[in-house]
């Protein structure tokens, strides 16, 4: 989200129950209730964050509220493509690094926003298309995620790629025109660059069960079934004077796919329902065990991109509004995230279908699946142990002329062109008879003709 773009239409589904106009709700806080948003959220195993413009960190009232109330931050603009790569191949991390340093000094986690988005692209990228844009986009993901590796809790890998309206389909953009697999390629590149970060898809007007949210749901379900690395879905929740009656049910259906859900850009138009809506969104998150946190898009009303909507929890003087009290009460009254989080449900079809061990007394075999586009590819290699199992394995591939390996995960690569050999890392070399593991690599050029061979040790 960016304060520069026009205010979007709010969800129009009528508010129900406790949100009815004029109705108020009082929640009794627990004996160990937190007295700040960050303390209360942390007690329940969650974060409560705010979008930050680093230029405002020197404003006393702003910084005081931020440091006292929030245990997570996200950059409003400092980590977007136009800010981090203003010229192709020349990266600038000044703003992002400043935010990370502030977070580390104040016990906050950091959400990364956003690696790829059809808006706020630098001018040089706006003029690109086809394989040149695809390669530039994947390189951008790789370089930025690598720079911040180990410092980011969750990345919005792709932002707002689905169209509004009733189609449930993708938004037309220069990125989409590079091929329908561009989102998958971005997630695979992000996982390779920072294996420890949660990888999220983020969008707006997805607050209830509608055509757009269902299109995203179908994409996430497909990704999970094929082993594409997606960990979370972000719901922006820029709200007006009502909230979808199926808001919580929508969060839950995504969580049931085996991904975390996060409220990523919450703000609510001022008016009689503002406090109630803020409270209801917080309760919905608390009631979904895989809802790991909430981020409001700004600190004070005068910091909001929504101008006169006065859409946040603090007024411009730093005073807490009624919405703040409702949110704090909802955090204190809600359940904690279970100590043993739910496991991902079985995929259909399974990510790793049963494999018949190859004949013989030892050895291993390897097979590859390719996700290719003009100018690049991602290869996923499946290694299957023979009947004697393995203590380690070595897989060789011969690349087409002009092709090159640029990233590798779950293996160590020797070489990058011609014949490249991949060996296991410490956690996936020892396999029992018939057991399977996977590694992957990203490359430029053509992936055609790759036929892996496996040697066991």
The mean pLDDT of 29-36, rounded to a whole number, is 63
Quick one: pLDDT at residue 436?
A: 83
Give the residues across from 379 on adjacent strands: 370, 441
118-140 pLDDT per residue, tens: 999 999 999 999 999 999 999 99
Rounded Cα distance between 309 and 267, Å, is 9
Question: Given a cut of 60, is residue 14 above it in pLDDT?
Answer: no
| Residues 6+ positions from 101 with CB-CB distance below 8 Å | none
pLDDT in tens, 365-390: 999 987 676 777 878 788 999 998 99
Instruction: Enumerate the active-site residues.
Output: 265
What is the C-alpha to C-alpha distance for residues 117 and 80, in angstroms, rounded to an integer?
Answer: 8
In tens, the pLDDT along 274-313 reads 999 999 999 999 999 999 999 999 999 999 999 999 999 9
Burial of 173 (0-12, 13-18, 19+ CB in 10 A): middle
Residues whose CB falls within 8 Å of the CB of residue 137, separated by 6 or more in sequence, listed in order: 116, 125, 175, 178, 182, 186
pLDDT of residue 355: 34
* Rounded Cα distance, 45 and 224, in Å: 25
pTM of the model: 0.72
């Amino acid at each position: 989200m960016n304060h520069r773009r026009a205010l979007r239409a709010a969800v129009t589904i009528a508010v129900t129950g406790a949100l009815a106009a004029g109705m108020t709700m009082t929640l009794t806080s627990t004996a160990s209730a937190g007295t700040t948003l960050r303390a209360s959220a942390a007690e329940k195993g969650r974060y409560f964050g705010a979008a930050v413009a680093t230029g405002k960190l020197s404003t006393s009232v702003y910084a005081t509220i931020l440091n006292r109330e929030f245990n997570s931050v996200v950059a409003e603009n400092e980590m977007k493509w136009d800010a981090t790569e203003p010229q192709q191949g020349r990266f600038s991390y000044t703003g992002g690094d400043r935010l990370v340093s502030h977070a580390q000094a104040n016990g906050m986690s950091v959400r990364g926003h956003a690696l790829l988005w059809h808006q706020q692209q630098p001018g040089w990228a706006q003029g690109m298309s086809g394989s040149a844009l695809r390669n530039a986009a994947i390189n951008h993901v790789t370089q930025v995620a690598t720079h911040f590796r180990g410092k980011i809790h969750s990345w919005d890998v792709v932002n707002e790629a689905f169209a509004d309206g009733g189609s449930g389909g993708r938004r037309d953009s220069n990125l989409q025109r590079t091929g329908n697999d561009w989102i998958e390629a971005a997630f695979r590149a992000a996982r390779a660059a920072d294996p420890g970060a949660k990888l999220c898809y983020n969008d707006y007007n997805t607050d209830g069960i509608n055509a757009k949210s269902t299109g995203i749901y179908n994409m996430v379900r497909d990704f999970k079934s094929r082993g594409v690395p997606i960990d979370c879905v972000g719901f922006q929740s820029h709200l007006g004077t009502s909230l979808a009656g199926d808001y919580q049910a929508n969060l839950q259906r995504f969580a049931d796919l085996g991904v975390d859900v996060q409220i990523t850009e919450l703000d609510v138009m001022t008016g009689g329902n503002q406090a109630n809506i803020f409270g209801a969104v917080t309760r919905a998150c608390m009631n979904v065990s895989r809802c790991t946190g909430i981020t409001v898009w700004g600190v004070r009303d005068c910091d909001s991109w929504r101008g006169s909507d006065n859409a946040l929890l603090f007024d411009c003087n730093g005073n807490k509004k009624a919405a703040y009290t409702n949110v704090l009460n909802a955090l204190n009254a809600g359940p904690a995230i279970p100590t043993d989080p739910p496991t991902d449900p079985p995929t259909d079809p399974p990510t790793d279908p049963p494999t018949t061990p190859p004949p013989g007394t030892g050895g291993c075999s390897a097979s590859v699946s390719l996700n290719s586009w003009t100018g690049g590819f991602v290869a996923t290699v499946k290694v299957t142990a023979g009947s004697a199992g393995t203590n380690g394995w070595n897989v060789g591939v011969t690349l087409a002329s002009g092709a090159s390996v640029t990233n590798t995960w779950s293996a160590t690569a020797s070489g990058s062109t011609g014949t490249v050999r991949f060996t296991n890392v410490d956690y996936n070399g020892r396999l029992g008879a018939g057991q399977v593991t996977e590694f992957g690599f990203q490359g430029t050029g053509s992936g055609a003709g790759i036929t892996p061979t496996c040697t066991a040790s």
